[in-house]
Every structure is written in C-alpha cells, then in structure tokens.
Amino acid sequence: MEYKNKRRFILGLSLLLFALLYFFKNTSNLLRVFATLAGLVSFYIFDHYFDINFELKHYLYILIIAFFGILLSPLYFLSGNYDKILHLIIPLLTGGIVFFLVNNQNLTLKWKLVTTLLFTIAILTIFEIIEFTLDKLWDLKLQGVYMRDITGLEKFNIIMDKNDDTMADLIIGILGGLIFIFYKTIKSRFNRIKWSSRRFIK
C-alpha cells in the first residue's frame, strides 16, 4: 500500500471523526477524537520513518484498537466485561502487526513466534504502566473496573480492585497473544502439509 493512499485513508478518517465530533461535541469527545487520530498518525509516522510499508490490514488493526479502546472508552463504565474482551482481542491484532515486523528478519518460525509473543507482552505491560501513571497524575480511573452509579453520571462504584484488574488484564492479554501464536503455528503447519501434498501430486 503506497504512502499516498495511507495519507488519504488517514485524512478521510480524520474528516469523518471531526464530522461526528461536530454533532456530538463536548470536551470529552474532543479528547477521545484527538487521541484516536494521534494513534493513527503516530502509526503512520512510524511506518513511513522506518520504511516498514505496513499493509492496509495493519492500519485497520490500529483503527480497531483506537476506535474501541479510545473513542468508545465510555463503554468501560457500562460493562465490566468490555475491558476484558478488549484485552483479549487487542493482543491478537498487536501480534499481527509485530509478526509482520519480525517476519522480515532472518529467524526460524519458532523464534519469530517467540519474539512476537515477547514483544506483545512488553507492549501490554507498557500500556499498564501508562495507565498506572495517568491514574496517579489525573485519576482517570484507567486501572480497576468501575460501573456508573445509578444516582449520578459522575459517580462510580469500583467492582474490581486496581491491582486485581491489572493482573487480570495482563493474564488475559497474554492469553490473547498465545492464541495468536497458536493460530500462526497451525496455519504454518497446514500450509506445509498443503505444499507437501502438491509436491507429492506433481
């Protein structure tokens, strides 16, 4: 995918998000839109600066992560399971991006998968550290599981302790990473069997 098309993709998405912001404008929405766009632009800069040439699907992965993780962040306070579902799915998408990077290296498949898993876990850990830091500075309630109190929109009840939530997020995230590794392993073996069958037929 050419960088020109990637820029058009990001620009078009930006216009769409700003259009949505116009109809649902408030400070909270504004911050979430800017954070989502910042994630996409940062990914593009990383792609362009290091000349990685990510594919369109990788941009869609980042879009999904940013859309459900940032833009729809109010859902965290409406469902206690929303955060856990994201922590299972996001490592699958992250693993796809990391594996694309690692796959260009001169490594065997086993070490590519191990490296992908370790980098995915590292990314998860970094995000948990960022959540901890932001909570300490501005009490954004990123750690812990909260539900809105029926007595007011700004009141929250904690239903999972911060430490328990962090450990649960990491465990679920690692599980998501392992699912990706399992998928790539099965896919590789299937392709190998398929290739061997074709060779045998010939």
Which residue bears the tokens 């859902």?
Answer: 75
Using DSSP, state whether 158 is helix, strand or coil: strand
Q: Residue 68 contacts by C-beta under 8 Å, 6 or more apart in sequence? A: 86
- Tally of domains in the chain: 1
Tens digits of residue pLDDT in 174-188:
999 999 999 999 998
Specify the higher pLDDT residue, 149 or 34. 34
Burial label for 200, CB within 10 Å (0-12, 13-18, 19+), is: exposed
For residue 166, give its domain range: 3-201
DSSP codes, 15-32 = HHHHHHHHHT-SHHHHHH
Region of residue 141 (phi > 0: left; psi between -120 and 50: alpha; otherwise: beta)? left
> Which helix or strand (DSSP H or E) is residue 136 part of?
helix 109-138
Query: Which pLDDT score, from 0 to 100, does residue 7 have?
Result: 67
DSSP codes, 100-128 = HHHTTSS--HHHHHHHHHHHHHHHHHHHH
Query: Which pLDDT score, from 0 to 100, does residue 193 have?
Result: 78
The residue type found at 183 is: Y
Query: Which pLDDT score, from 0 to 100, does residue 107 have?
Result: 92
pTM of the predicted structure, to 2 decimals: 0.85
Tens digits of residue pLDDT in 79-104:
878 999 999 999 999 999 999 999 98
